[in-house]
Chains A and B, each alone.
Chain A
Amino acid sequence: MTDITLPLPVALEQIREDFLALEQRDRLQLLLEFSNGLPDLPPRYSDHPDLLERVVECQSPVFLFVEVDAARTVHVFVTAPRESPTTRGFASILVQGLAGLDVDQVLAVPQDYPLEIGLTEAVSPLRIRGMMALLGRIQRQVRERAGAGGNA
């Protein structure tokens, strides 16, 4: 179970504050910056797309893979096509916001975090659901990998 009283991890909180500080149209520009900043996949995944899990709730082909290292730190890798910049932006927010967190911290991120960052009006509630699905998939993979010993 997640503890709803936990504060958000620093990076996710900072992203939230950055979006909320902007006017609606500028929030789209910031999302575009995130989109452009989505890291490329490391070769072990870009050379093996079969290892990636497709997120079917997203409106464009999105693939993700989660690693949990020996220190229980989570590493998230996501890819989405250039012609789907909104999805790339969502992925980038999560990849950057979850970077360096451990298993418990990732699992404690509220599922409605995507609703809280001021993008619902700028991109529409329907589109935000794609980001919630992505977060849900990441947390599920973390649970699976951590449950399997956490040393994958």
Chain B
Amino acid sequence: MTVELDPTPAFAAFAHPERLVSTEWLAEHLGSPGLVVVESDEDVLLYETGHIEGSVKIDWHTDLNDPVTRDYLDGAGFAKLLGSKGIGRDTTVVIYGDKTNWWAAYALWVFTLFGHEDVRLLDGGRAKWEAEGRAYTTASTPVVPVDYPVVERDDVTERVFKDDVIEHLGSPLIDVRSPEEYVGDRTTAPAYPEEGALRAGHIPTAQNVPWARAVAENGTFKPRAELEAIYLDGAGLKPGDDVIAYCRIGERSSHTWFALSYLLGFENVRNYDGSWTEWGSAVRVPIVKGVEPGVLTGTAAH
């Protein structure tokens, strides 16, 4: 860790408080050597309208996704991207964004696939920074490019593919989409564009816990006891469970992956980034409609 941790008492109860910083902490530490602040938004232009001074922009779609294959950057691409943003392998990275850090958590998850050790989320994201009247600038951030090593992406520890999910059936699944998507009334989030899933519904036995239930009204994560009430008491997860989270393309479930892994301390949580756009179009995978999680039947049962 190159930059000191945020000692905010509210974080202390979390399993990995080192993964969060508060807006107060960030305001005090802006410009610290070894710290790079990254903005990652749903809206590709939001950074340009004003951003935290000294921050750099990484866009989920134009930067982190491979332009041809439905996949992320490879090790060489990631090294080139981070080096160009002035991020070295031992840099402390703090990521923040719009929509309650939905896309910031997604970027953080991708950083984790490459094993970037010290990457943290700004609790509350852009909305809290703004609500507190903190400053933005439209000035471009001067960046001194650095060398970032080429690290092979780990697609096993934090990521699953469709076949892994089929193998996993019978173990806990968390569907973090809206109730409308889970039930099968629609294939996209309300007010979002159609992304091409052919069938609607959910993966059998998945519990529906919409991702935003993990955050309080001011956009920060809820206290640990409240998160436990949602995910343990509510969704039935037990300490030590292997959990797979999914949504539509893996972004909202990155947020839940973060909460389960770093706030509640589940050590084997994986994100299914193919998510409903893949599952809902795949041939002969089991699908359940309606409010009940459903049961495994026939060939789907293990």
Task: Give me the interface of A with B, judged by CB distance under 8 Å.
Answer: 28-29, 31-32, 35, 56-61, 82-87, 89, 121-124, 126-127, 129-130, 133
Give the complex CA separation of A123 and B65 in angstroms: 12
Find out whether the CB atom of B49 lies under 8 angstroms from the CB atom of A85: yes
Find out whether the CB atom of B62 lies under 8 angstroms from the CB atom of A122: yes
Name the prevailing secondary structure of the B interface residues: loop
Min Cβ gap A87→B in Å is 8
Contacts of B44 in A (CB 8 A): 28, 86, 122-124, 127
Give the tally of cross-chain contacts (CB within 8 A).
61
A32-B45 CB under 8 A given contacts A83-B98, A121-B62:
yes
A126-B195 CB under 8 A given contacts A28-B48, A32-B48, A85-B49:
yes
4 nearest A-B residue pairs (beta carbon): A124-B61, A85-B45, A86-B45, A129-B193
Q: Find B191's partner among A28, A59, A121 (CB 8 Å cutoff).
A: A59
Name the prevailing secondary structure of the A interface residues: helix
A57-B46 CB under 8 A given contacts A124-B62, A127-B61:
no
Min Cβ gap A139→B in Å is 17
Other A-B pairs, 6, CB within 8 Å; known A32-B49, A57-B192, A86-B43: A60-B43, A86-B46, A87-B43, A124-B44, A126-B61, A126-B193
B194: interface (CB < 8 Å)? yes
Could you name 22 residue pairs across A and B whose Cβ atoms are closer than 8 Å?
A: A28-B45, A29-B48, A32-B48, A56-B191, A57-B194, A59-B42, A60-B191, A83-B43, A83-B46, A83-B98, A84-B43, A85-B45, A86-B44, A86-B45, A89-B45, A121-B67, A123-B62, A124-B61, A126-B193, A127-B44, A127-B61, A133-B193
